[in-house]
Structure 1
Amino acid sequence: MSVTYDLRLLTSFLAVADELHFGRAAERLQVAQPALSQQLRRLETQLGVQLFDRDARKVELTGAGKAFLPGAREAVAAAHRAALAAQRVTDTAPAVLRVAVDLDLPERVLQQIRLFSQIRSEIELKVVRQHQGDALDALHGDQVDLVVGWGRMPYGPPLRSLTLDSEEILAVLRDDHPEAVRPAMTRDAFGRGQFVMFEREQSADVFDWLAVAAAGRQPEQLRIQQVRSLDDGASAMLRSAGRGCGQTIVAASRFDAAAHPRLRTIPFDPPLRHEIVAMWTAESESAAVLALADSWGRA
């Protein structure tokens, strides 16, 4: 049987699947929560299955929802790629492309951008490193054309985006922490301890998503110590964990065991991965923006 799905329904499903919270998903999509709920019910009716278990305390994917998730994500990504290909045919690249890269992203992201610059030498790249919240402010203020940062569509004005990569996220504890002997970290065990995180104002959407993804609870239900960072948030979080302020998390490629001999990393069970995305506005979209976003892994 052939079934056609509205791309908006798939986008709504992905937002709720990512956030596991209808209020935050609605804020992310810039729609009213009742409208979002209606879209999800419409999709479930089309599929003939229930995608989410909902109650007053939590939202969870059903078995059918988990099975539907990879295909839905790929369908939305494929639609974005098709749009990029069509727009490149008629657009003309500007002389300068201004890119803001989140301070906590792995080095391979900058390597990919440098490689693109070598291949597309007719485009002058200007790259700055910023906290993601500052980078998004710069994007909306027309100070940069593109932001490369951590996934989860930011709160606030809607953006266009494309998933570029992903990174495994690990639990980090001092070697004398009672949970440090675990071979793998469950969400429930992680959620019971003091949790060291970067300041929420640096990137509220990423802060909220990581809290739920790592600890299985809403941020307000956790004991979170926020640490101020003038450099990247990961370094500040690791320093605090090393001083015994609590457990934290880190992208696998960002952890240097030699620099933090008292800390131990533990994989989550099931594994936790965080997407790396390119984000831009309708106003900043250009052939150069689309070329950089679409070149990932192929430059």
Structure 2
Amino acid sequence: MDLDLRKLRYFVAVAEELHFGRAAERLHIAQPVLSRQIRSLEDDLGVEVFDRDRRGTLLTAAGRQLLEDAVPLLASAQGLLRRVEAAAQGTPTLTVGFMPGIRVTAALAAFSAVRPGVNVRLLRTSWDDQVAVLLDGRADIGVVRLPIDQRGLQVRPLFEESRVVMLPAGHRLAGRASVTVGDLAHEHLLQDPDAVPEWRTVALELRDGRRPDVPVIHQVEEKLELVASGAGICVLPLSTATFYTRPDVIALPVEDIGPTEVGLAWVESRRSPLIRDFVEAAGRQTPFK
């Protein structure tokens, strides 16, 4: 039995919304059509992927497994289409994703010296999409900040970098030469606590295990605007903090937060010689600092 990718896309929409009406609206199709397609998918698989009752729509165990596998599969299919379209243009192209604050100029120069005829494109990424752009083909290789979900990826560490906390200029700790995690534990963190596990551990202890509410923020600029307004704090790699220097926000070293690690990542199944040459060219030096 061959899986129908269209049905899988429909399934993912319902699985993420857990509501057939919202999923149908998101997909721009009629709800009865969506329901028939999901039933057809279940017939193809021989299992039920949703538990439908008066409480709403829930994933079954099979549905949860299908969702886990379907998302990277659809991303891989999208990446295949993008690479085929790029190949049809005739000019070899390598798209490099990079996180804010990481300088890629020297690495690109080293690669271009080996592959002068390749069109190199750059794609700025964020903490939320630095892996997604690799899986769906928007980027061939990424300069990523670890840790990341490495399933389906090949990762080569490059270097470690210290991190700092960003505070508003008038903050009570602004005059300190450095701070500790304990000094910051009662502050409102404007990022995923999993990105700062040391802060998360101490903060949860002080909050009796209650996980703090974290706003959904995707851009460094937005975080710093909120920091400047006194809405909270954020922890950034030193290079990112230096790149976004502004007078109303200060950066302080945090004594007991470990460094962040920067690495190269690409889809493990890719056998592109361009990716191989970029990895080798970048690995001969540490050009990203």
Report TM bin, short chain. 0.5 to 0.7
- Residue 178 of structure 1 and its aligned partner are, at CA, apart by 2.1
Aligned partners of 2:95, 2:243: CA distance in 1, in Å? Answer: 34
Q: Which amino acid aligns with 1:100?
A: G
For residues 190 and 256 of structure 1, the distance between their equivalents in structure 2, rounded to whole angstroms, comes to 21
Contact 1:153 1:159 in 2 (8 A): no
Distance 1:164 1:193 in 2: 32
Work out the CA distance in 2 between the residues paired with 1:215 and 1:266: 18
Residues of 2 paired with 1:168 and 1:261: CA distance? 21
8 Å CA contact retained: 1:228, 1:236: yes
Residue matched to 1:295: 281
Gaps of 5+ in 1: 1-29, 31-93, 198-206
C-alpha separation in 2, matches of 1:298 and 1:124 = 21
C-alpha distance in 2 between matches for 1:190 and 1:215: 10
2:93 matches 1:96: yes
1:259 and 1:154 mapped to 2: Cα distance?
30
TM-score, with structure 2 as normaliser: 0.56
Correspondences of 1:91-170 after superposition (within 5 Å): 95-102=92-99, 104-106=100-102, 108-154=103-149, 157-170=151-164
| Cα distance change of structure 1 residues 222 and 295 upon mapping to structure 2, 3 Å threshold | farther
Query: Counterparts in 2 of 1:158-237, with a 5 A limit?
Result: 158-197=152-191, 207-217=192-202, 221-229=210-218, 233-237=219-223
CA-atom RMSD, angstroms? 3.1
Q: 1-side partners of 2:115 and 2:199: how far apart?
A: 39
> What letter is aligned with 1:226?
P
- Tell me the distance in 2 between the aligned counterparts of 1:236 and 1:110: 25
Structure showing greater Rg: 2
Q: Unaligned stretches of 5+ in structure 2?
A: 1-67, 69-90
1:293/1:252 Cα in 2 relative to 1: closer, same or farther (>3 Å)? same
Partner Cα separation in structure 1 for residue 275 and residue 157 of structure 2: 14
**TM-score when scaled to structure 1?**
0.55
Aligned-pair identity (%): 17
Report the CA distance shift for 1:242/1:279 in structure 2 as closer, same or farther (over 3 A): same
Give CA deviations for 1:152-203 in whole Å, capped at 9, x if unaligned: 1316x33110012332210111232222233222122222211122xxxxxx
CA contact (8 A) 1:101 1:147 kept: yes
Provide the secondary structure at the position in 1 that maps to 2:227: helix
Aligned partners of 1:258, 1:292: CA distance in 2, in Å?
28
Distance of aligned partners of 1:132 and 1:260 in 2 relative to their CA distance in 1, 3 Å threshold: closer
